[in-house]
Structure formats: structure tokens, C-alpha cells
Structure 1
Amino acid sequence: MRAFLLGLLMLVGACATAPTPAADPTGDNLDAIARDYVALILEIGEREPGYVDAYYGPAAWQEAAKASPRTVPQLIQGAATLTERLNAVPTRGVEPAVVQRRKYLLSHVSAASARLRMLSGEKMSFADEAEALFGIRPELMPLSSYDPVLAEIGALLPGPGSLADRVTAFKAHYVIPKDRLQPVMDAAIAECRRRTVRHIDLPANERFTLSFVGDKPWSGYNYYLGDAASRIEINADFPIYTERAIDLGCHEGYPGHHVYNALLEKTFVRDRNWVEMSVYPLFSPMSFVAEGSANYGIDLAFPGDEGTVFEREVLFPLAGLDPSTAEKKAQLGALQRRLARAEYTIADDYLAGRVGREETIARLSKYSLADPAKAAQRLRFIDTYRSYIINYGLGRDVVQAWVERQGPNRWDGMETLLSSQILPVDLLP
């Protein structure tokens, strides 16, 4: 009878109240556990602002979390109880998707437990934290291993002054004027969408709004609102380059975060009533897939030199810029991409207290080839999100390798990933 009533509550979600734990393990099931998982995540969000990146389940569940959130110790115990319940759910003879669902929930409850322990004061190393939260352990390379890449960039842009200054001066020619940001971003996102919908079927009502903001630790953000809608915000405090318009259009929109969330909502929440996918905890394995696929989506939508061609033929005229050295800019971008993981080593030293703030800004400036103000903004991101930074470069590389192993049609592999509960560990060879 309890299982029947819980199933009935699923069908009348619009009238649902806060999830109620299933006290009797013998009558437990993944649907009941999933509802209690949603309650756990929403209540953690009340203890850590920003932890819940998106939620579009029953409003009553969110109201209940706000009205009476458990304490952090109680939430830690709640996560342990969910783990016990998940481990007790039988998997023999059930369809593979259900086995994966249980595995997915176990992984996300484990990440939630780790985040709660951090909130209660537990300290972890950078690599331990990344593995606990996102399900992948990053390799931390010595900074000296990136020096040959700096030498290649120095040869590409010879001249007086520091390398970061030379890169900043060169890229200054490709800053989109603020009064032209809107048409350039509109064109970039439209092209990202055009290239995506040729390969991936999106919900008919999918849409987004775009706005420019300031005073943020990030350069762009997608706030998924549910019902296939997103609010995309672009930080206009710092210069936005033409190639960055493509990056942001793909990463935040198509085939990035907007597409990922819309496909998850359709596949799981709408079609299967799997409510765990109606909430997105930021510090979870979900973010490794989200950020990795969003970054790989740039290369997927604009393979080879197609991004450079689009910049030269469309974005440069819209921005009123000279395209004469666009190819050299593309070479620089490819080299800078090889520096991306230097940030992990820098963050590890900084977060462990081995290197101070000013020296860390100098290191970020050197290895990201940014001016000190931009490096300071990046340190603000590290202060806020810590080991989350692994999800971009490492995430992109792991996602790319997995997609390419699926077969020659990379868009098919991408759509499979974006419509799944595939975990970071599943992406490894």
C-alpha cells in the first residue's frame, strides 16, 4: 500500500508536499529515495547559498526546505541513511537504466556528504576534494612542465615586455566594443544553436534570455529555470574577445548547459518521473559532465578552423574589428588551452596555504597570460568554487575522449551523454 501511495504522489506532483522518508526498508524503492534525495539537496542549499544550481520540481518541496532545514550534522546523518537505503535496493533482474539510476544516486549522495563535511569544517587536499565532490581525481603537474608552452607562445609573439603584457596587447585588437556586445553575442549564440539543432532534437518550447552583468567571479552563467528555459548572464566587467563570444554561446547555450538541462528534464523528469534530475547540486559529479560537455561542445560545433572562419566572416564585421591576424589569434588560443591545467597546481598550493594571495595572482597571470586584474578575478573564482575548476579543462578532455570512442558520429555520442545519467567514472577508458 505504501508503494502505491508513493507512486500516486508522483502522479500528482503539482499538489505534492515535502518528501517523506520511507521508514520501512522492505517497502523502499528508488522513487521514494529519489524524493528524499531532492529534500536533502534542497536543505543543503539552505545551509550553503549557491549549492543548488537549478531546481524545477514541486514548489512545495522547496518551501518545506526553506521552512525547516535540518542542521548540518542532521543532514550528514540523512545522507548516510540514504546511502544505506540505496545499498539495500536490489538490482538483480532490473533494466540497466535502473541499475545506473541507483549508481547515480549513490554517487551524488556521496558528493553531498562530502560537501556537508566540508561545511562542518573538514579539510581535504585539492585532489581529495575534487575526487570526493566530482568523482574524478586530477593529476597535479609541476608548473615547470608548462614552461615549454610559454616558450612557444613567446616565439609566436616576440618583442619587449613580459609575455603576459604581449599577449594582452595582441588580444586588445579583438575586444568587442561594449556598444556592440549585444549583436555580436546574439549572432554567436544563433550560430551555436543553428549548428546544434542540425544534430540534436530539442524541446519545441526551448528558449533563453540573455543579459550582461558585472561584479561576478565568473565570465558567464546559465541559470536553468525548468520548462526548457534558461537565463544566460555574461559578465561584461572585463574585455570579451570575439572567440569568447563563440565559447560563451556554445558553453552556456548550445550544445552546452542549456541543451544539457533541457534534455535531462525531458528524458528523466518529464518522460520517466525521475525526480532526482529536477535538482542540480553544483558540487556534484553532474558538474563534471556539465562543464566538460559544455567546453567540448565548442569544438564539436566549430571543428577545425570553422570558428576562425565564422569570426572573420561574421563577428569581426559586427564588432568593427580588423580580421587580418585572426589565424595567429587562433594559434595563440590553441597554445593557451595547453596551459589550462596549470591552474590546478596553483590552486592546490594556494588553498593549502603554501602560497600567499599576491604570489598566486602572479602565478595565475604568468600561466594564464592575463593581466593582474583578470588574474585577481580568477582567484576570486577559486576562492568561491575551489576544486570546481577541474570540471573545465579536465572535464572537456575526458568528455572528448569518451565521445570519440563511441564512434565516428560525435554528435550522436554527445546527445547520448547529454540525455543520460552517465557519471564521470563511466567516461574513463
Structure 2
Amino acid sequence: MTLRWTPQPVGDAIVDIVLSLNEQAKSMHGTEVATASYSKIKPSIANLDAIGRKVEEVEKEIKGLEGHPGRYLRSMLNSYGYFVRSLQGDDLPYAEYIANIQELPATLIPEETMKEHRELVEQGLTNLGYRGNLREKAESWLNDTLIPPDKVIEVAESMKEKSKIGTLKRIIELPKQDGIDYIKATRGVFWSGYSKYTGDFRGNLTFNIDRPWTEPVLAQIMTHEGYPGHQAFYCRWDYLFQQEKLPLEASYYLINSPTNALFEGGPESALHFLGWDRDEEETEKVSSKQKEQYKLARDWIDMQRMAMTNACYMFNTGEMSKEESVAYMMQEGLLGEIEANNCYRFFSDPIQKTYYPSYYYGRWMVGKAYDSVPKQQRSEFFETLYDTPHTTNTFIDAVSAMIGEKFQPFEQVKTLKEDFLI
């Protein structure tokens, strides 16, 4: 038996839409957007116009569906319609696409927010004994912790097992068949790390060694891609689906949908979940000195991500050229030239341009949610994050109910999204 929220023809059509969108994205842009699908349903819708019509048909079918399933699926179907329009090249405001595809703000991160975070990074560098201005301190720190390109995979491998041990001990259970079959290096891509789920609870990780890697930053990305990040999410969902605890209508992961901020926000907070950045947590042979480095690396990545997200916004709204956005990231986020150009390739991509904001906003939504929940409720929090299909808005409401007050993860960002939601 399969757990379903809707009658079989409706549920099957929802998965068909997702997988058919994947076929169109691969055909048009060479990009896989359905990065996991656990059912046996195959794509059958031949073109974007037909997908759009099918979306409208299913929206009518679920109009009266009550409770969480109805709210979740109406948001998902709305996002599919907007994703179709994006693939067709419809000239809609960038904020409208982000609001309807991801249920996220689309505006500039305030300079005051960025300034406060630069100060956090500078204080962390000072605490480690570095001197000079922020750029000088950062360059010394990066040089001191640099990993040679031919050693990146070896260092990543050394983190794999202990991060899985911490995941199983403090976060979620995984089936005994779970595992990462290999970690390899690549060049020529715009991303830093990539987790590929291959099915049957197994996956592979790949890291881009064109960019420089330091040990504290690699720890953040390794836990993001592996445990308790993407591999843990993919495997857990597969297990839940096979146990009839995940509904067919949510039995996949789709780039450009309202689930993205959770799927990226959880991995962006993965090292924090493990307690590798906090002395009060017992951890897997992670020293206090390493924890100080990992805390700094998280602040460093957050500082860079703010500049990258603003550059993404300004490029996609026509306020900046490629050259201006690259220069902005290097100046405001202290990115190196390789990293800034890779990020530009990421957020200027026709598929990824409406996905990229999920990293920054997901990080703050999930990270703030975790820190807002009392320690005795963490198991409930992880069940909400890993085991329950949520959109951005339903997750925010679930956290509000958990903590007994309105959860406002984006309160520092003046959002325009209400103007565009239907």
C-alpha cells in the first residue's frame, strides 16, 4: 500500500507533473530538477503547455482539500505553474517568481544586517589572534587553514563517519543500508559541493576543487552535502515512503518549489545540529579549538552568502551587470575571483536563478527555528523538519505552534512578496 492524500488519479498526476517538468528542464537546459523520486510513476506529459494545463486541472481537484495536505499541495501546484512560466520565458518580476515558487522574500538584504555580520566575522578572527583589517585577517586565516586540492577528498572522507555517528545519535534514524559510496573531486562546475542520491538509501558526493578549500569551511559543506544534510534527507524520505509514512504526493524533491528553503536550510544548519560549533555539546572527537574554527567558518559563509544573495537579486532585476555583480561579491563578501565568478554562473543560470535565494533564506529560517526551540523539543523539531512535508509557510506556522509565539524568520528583510501571492 502507498500513503495518499488524494485519490489515485490526482496523486499520480501530481508526481507526473513533477517528473515531466524534470524532462523539460533536462531537454531545455541540461539540468535535473527532480533530484529524487521514490515512486514508480514515470513522466508522460509531452510539453510545457500540456504541463500547464495539467496543473490547472489538478488545482481544481484539490481546491476543497482540507488541512495541512490541502495547504501544502495548493502551494506546490501554484509553484509548478510559475515554474512552467519561468521555463517558457514569461517576463514576470523576479520578486513574483520567488514569492510564488519558493514563498520567500525577494529584495535586498539591508546593509545594517550585513555590517553586523561582518563585525561577527572580524571578532571571531580577532579572537583567534589575527591582526590587521578584516581583509588582512581573513586572508591570513584562509591561508593558515588551506587544504591542498589533492587532499580535499581525503579530509572530507575523515569527516564522513563522525558526522553520521552524530546524526544517528542526536538527530534522526537512518536505515542500516544507508551510505555514501564515494566522494570524488571535479572541476569546471559552478557549484562547490553536490550530493547525488542514487536510490536504495545510497548516495555519492562531489566537490569542486577549482575553488580553494579550508578545513573549517569544508566541514560546513561536508555536513551540508552528507550527514545530517542532503544524504540524510534523501535517505530518510526514501525510508519513510517505503514505510508508508510519506505520502505519494510528496515523494520527490523538486528544485524550484516551496520546499527548497527547508531542503537547503537544514543542510546549511547541519554542523550546528551536530553541535560541532558549541562547547556545551558532547561531540565526536571535535576539539574546542576546532569548534571555534567551525563557528567562525559558519559566520564567514553567512557573510559571503549575504553578498551573493544581494548580487543574485540585483543581477536578476537588471540593476547590475555580470561584471558589477562579481565585483560586488568580491568587495562586500570578500569572495575570491574564482568563487565570485562561479556564484555568478550559478544565479544567472535559467533554472538556478529562481532557486538560489533558498540558501540564504533557508539558512535563516531553519537555523533560527532550531535556536528558538527549547532543547527538550528538539526531537519534535527534527520530526517537523525531516519527516513532515512542509512548504516555507507551513513550516513557519509549525514552528510558531511549537514555540508558542509567532515565528518571524525574515523580519529583518522588508518583503514585497505579499504583492504577488495569489
Instruction: State the TM-score, normalizing by the size of structure 2.
Output: 0.80
**Partner-residue secondary structure (3-state), 1:233:** strand
In the alignment, the residues of structure 2 paired with residue 311 and residue 350 of structure 1 have an alpha-carbon distance, to the nearest angstrom, of: 43
**Partner-residue secondary structure (3-state), 1:285:** coil
1:75-129 superposed Cα distances (whole Å, 9 cap, x missing partner)? 111111111111144x3xxxxxxx3233222221111111101111223333322
* Letter of the structure 2 residue corresponding to residue 136 of structure 1: L
2:98 maps to 1:130: yes
1:59-78 superposed Cα distances (whole Å, 9 cap, x missing partner)? xx43x53xxx4221221111
* Letter of the structure 2 residue corresponding to residue 109 of structure 1: L
The one of 146, 166, 169 aligned to 1:175: 146
Aligned residue in 1 for 2:50: 74
The one of 340, 349, 360 aligned to 1:393: 360
Between Structure 1 and Structure 2, how many residues are aligned? Answer: 380
**Partner-residue secondary structure (3-state), 1:203:** coil
2:403 maps to 1:403: no
Aligned residue in 2 for 1:111: 79
**Partner-residue secondary structure (3-state), 2:253:** strand
Aligned residue in 1 for 2:320: 355
In the alignment, structure 2 segments of 5+ residues that lack a partner are 27-31, 397-406, 408-422
In the alignment, the residues of structure 2 paired with residue 132 and residue 423 of structure 1 have an alpha-carbon distance, to the nearest angstrom, of: 11
| Cα deviation, residue 37, structure 1 | 0.8
Mapped contact 1:131–1:137 kept (Cα < 8 A): yes
**Which segments of structure 1 move beyond 3 Å, counting only runs of 4 or more?**
28-31, 142-145, 147-160, 163-166, 303-307, 309-314, 325-333, 403-407
* Letter of the structure 2 residue corresponding to residue 259 of structure 1: A
In the alignment, the residues of structure 2 paired with residue 402 and residue 225 of structure 1 have an alpha-carbon distance, to the nearest angstrom, of: 30
Aligned residue in 1 for 2:269: 296
1:270-308 superposed Cα distances (whole Å, 9 cap, x missing partner)? 42473233322111122211101111121111354459x
Mapped contact 1:164–1:370 kept (Cα < 8 A): no
In the alignment, the residues of structure 2 paired with residue 203 and residue 147 of structure 1 have an alpha-carbon distance, to the nearest angstrom, of: 44
Structural mapping, 1:16-165, within 5 Å: 29-49=6-26, 50-58=32-40, 61-62=41-42, 64-65=43-44, 69-89=45-65, 91=66, 99-143=67-111, 146-147=114-115, 149-150=117-118, 156=126, 158-159=131-132, 164=135
Mapped contact 1:267–1:419 kept (Cα < 8 A): yes
In the alignment, the residues of structure 1 paired with residue 81 and residue 255 of structure 2 have an alpha-carbon distance, to the nearest angstrom, of: 13
1:393-412 superposed Cα distances (whole Å, 9 cap, x missing partner)? 22122113333444323244
| Cα deviation, residue 33, structure 1 | 1.3
| Cα deviation, residue 214, structure 1 | 1.7
| Cα deviation, residue 340, structure 1 | 2.9
Q: Which sits farther off after the overlay, 264-273 or 347-356? A: 264-273
Mapped contact 1:207–1:230 kept (Cα < 8 A): yes
Percent identity among equivalent residues? Answer: 18
Higher gyration radius (CA): 1
In the alignment, the residues of structure 1 paired with residue 275 and residue 51 of structure 2 have an alpha-carbon distance, to the nearest angstrom, of: 44
* Letter of the structure 2 residue corresponding to residue 202 of structure 1: L
Aligned residue in 1 for 2:163: 192
**Partner-residue secondary structure (3-state), 2:197:** strand
**Partner-residue secondary structure (3-state), 2:356:** helix
**Partner-residue secondary structure (3-state), 1:122:** coil
Q: Which sits farther off after the overlay, 352-361 or 140-149? A: 140-149
Distance change (3 Å), C-alpha of 1:341 and 1:383: same
| Cα deviation, residue 332, structure 1 | 6.4
| Cα deviation, residue 29, structure 1 | 3.7
In the alignment, structure 1 segments of 5+ residues that lack a partner are 1-6, 12-27, 92-98, 315-322
Aligned residue in 1 for 2:416: none
**Partner-residue secondary structure (3-state), 2:8:** helix
Distance change (3 Å), C-alpha of 1:148 and 1:286: closer
**Partner-residue secondary structure (3-state), 2:21:** helix
Structure with more helix by fraction:
1
| Cα deviation, residue 227, structure 1 | 1.9
Mapped contact 2:220–2:297 kept (Cα < 8 A): no
2:346 maps to 1:375: no
In the alignment, the residues of structure 2 paired with residue 328 and residue 39 of structure 1 have an alpha-carbon distance, to the nearest angstrom, of: 45
In the alignment, the residues of structure 2 paired with residue 342 and residue 303 of structure 1 have an alpha-carbon distance, to the nearest angstrom, of: 25
Aligned residue in 1 for 2:233: 260
Mapped contact 1:242–1:311 kept (Cα < 8 A): no
In the alignment, the residues of structure 1 paired with residue 338 and residue 180 of structure 2 have an alpha-carbon distance, to the nearest angstrom, of: 31
Mapped contact 2:271–2:277 kept (Cα < 8 A): no
| Cα deviation, residue 31, structure 1 | 3.3
* Letter of the structure 1 residue corresponding to residue 53 of structure 2: Q
| Cα deviation, residue 419, structure 1 | 0.7
Instruction: State the TM-score, normalizing by the size of structure 1.
Output: 0.79
Q: Which sits farther off after the overlay, 45-54 or 163-172? A: 163-172
| Cα deviation, residue 379, structure 1 | 0.8
In the alignment, the residues of structure 1 paired with residue 243 and residue 72 of structure 2 have an alpha-carbon distance, to the nearest angstrom, of: 18
Q: CA RMSD in A?
A: 3.1
* Letter of the structure 1 residue corresponding to residue 54 of structure 2: G
